[in-house]
């Protein structure tokens, strides 16, 4: 998004001095600050009524000429905040990344419940379900947004049966604060699933396990090294 500051000095009917700051963003003009200062003659108003500045240096020059240096504070503030006075709807939101899990057997809700029992910080942000007459079976998850301890995951029950499912090539990697929490989570997640690497010290981690749950989602669970020089690597 391209932005710049424009300062204009138009004539005021009351023989005062009118100071206006605009913010240009994406080729659109947004008013940012209007301020009226007194003690400037009408002749000076006419002299500067068409003056414009589009860079901080030009703004400083104009402010020095008009002896209204205190207005420079407002210009500096506008530059520092990036024209935040422009309408919020005109600011493009940052790109966000989420993990999307598509379930083939209509069990997205069961997966959400399992993960919430394993990770106590799980929070369901939003959930939509299929209703009567919609493509998916009524009550199954059309789309759910879930915060898994700070990591956003999207869940969906696919009403189209595909020839693929989850693969261990993609895993949810979780660091735990204690071995007890790790062991309990591994036991719950691997129940009815498969164990690729049982819990053990593998050199790159003092305690690590790799499994897939009963829905086919792969998990790598890890207890980080306490040493700041140790490096934890995912399973290969």
With a cut of 60, say whether residue 22 has pLDDT above it: no
pLDDT band of residue 178 (cuts 50, 70, 90) is very high
Q: What does the alpha-carbon distance between residue 54 and residue 65 come to, in Å, rounded to a whole number? A: 16
- Per-residue pLDDT tens digits for 115-166: 999 998 899 999 999 999 999 999 999 999 999 999 999 999 999 999 999 9
Contact, 164 vs 137, CB < 8 A? no
pLDDT band of residue 191 (cuts 50, 70, 90) is very high
CATH topology classification for 97-161: 3.30.720
Is 168-236 the same fold as 97-161? yes
Provide, rounded to the nearest whole percent, the portion of the chain with pLDDT above 70.
58
Hey, is 166 helix, strand or coil? coil
With 0.95 as the threshold, say if the pTM is over it.
Answer: no
- Per-residue pLDDT tens digits for 74-87: 555 555 555 454 45
- Per-residue pLDDT tens digits for 194-227: 999 999 999 999 999 999 999 999 999 999 987 3
Mean pLDDT over all residues of the chain?
Answer: 76
**Any idea where the domains of the chain sit in the sequence?**
3-86, 97-161, 168-236
What are the Cα distances from residue 173, in Å, to 100, 108, 182, 208, 218? 15, 19, 12, 10, 9
pLDDT band of residue 90 (cuts 50, 70, 90) is low
Write b or e for each residue in 218-234: b if 16 or more Cβ atoms lie within 10 A of its Cβ, otherwise e: bbbbbbeeeeeeeeeee
When mean pLDDT is compared over 65-69, 91-95, 113-117, 223-227, the highest value belongs to 113-117
pLDDT given for residue 225 in this prediction:
84
pLDDT given for residue 92 in this prediction:
74
- Taking the domain 168-236, which CATH number applies? 3.30.720.110
């Amino acid at each position: 998004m391209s932005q710049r500051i424009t300062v204009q000095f138009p004539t005021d009917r009351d023989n005062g001095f009118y100071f206006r700051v605009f913010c240009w963003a994406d080729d659109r003009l947004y008013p940012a600050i209007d301020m009226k200062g007194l003690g400037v003659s009408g002749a000076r108003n006419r002299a500067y009524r068409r003056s414009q500045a589009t860079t901080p240096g030009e703004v400083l020059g104009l402010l020095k000429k008009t002896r209204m240096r205190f207005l420079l504070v407002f210009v500096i503030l506008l530059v520092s905040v990036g024209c935040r006075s422009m309408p919020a709807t005109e600011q493009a939101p940052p790109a966000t990344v989420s993990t999307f899990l598509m379930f083939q057997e209509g069990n997205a809700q069961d997966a959400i419940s399992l993960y919430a029992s394993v990770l106590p910080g799980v929070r369901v942000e939003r959930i939509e379900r299929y209703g009567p007459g919609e493509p998916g079976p009524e009550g199954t998850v059309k789309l759910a947004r879930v915060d898994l301890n700070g990591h956003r995951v999207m869940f969906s029950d696919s009403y189209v049966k595909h020839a693929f499912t989850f693969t261990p090539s993609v895993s949810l990697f979780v660091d735990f604060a204690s071995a007890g929490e790790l062991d309990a989570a591994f036991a719950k997640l691997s129940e009815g699933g498969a164990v690729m690497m049982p819990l053990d010290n593998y050199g790159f981690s003092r305690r690590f396990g790799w499994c897939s749950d009963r829905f086919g989602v792969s998990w790598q669970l890890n207890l980080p090294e306490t040493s700041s020089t140790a490096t934890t690597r995912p399973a290969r």
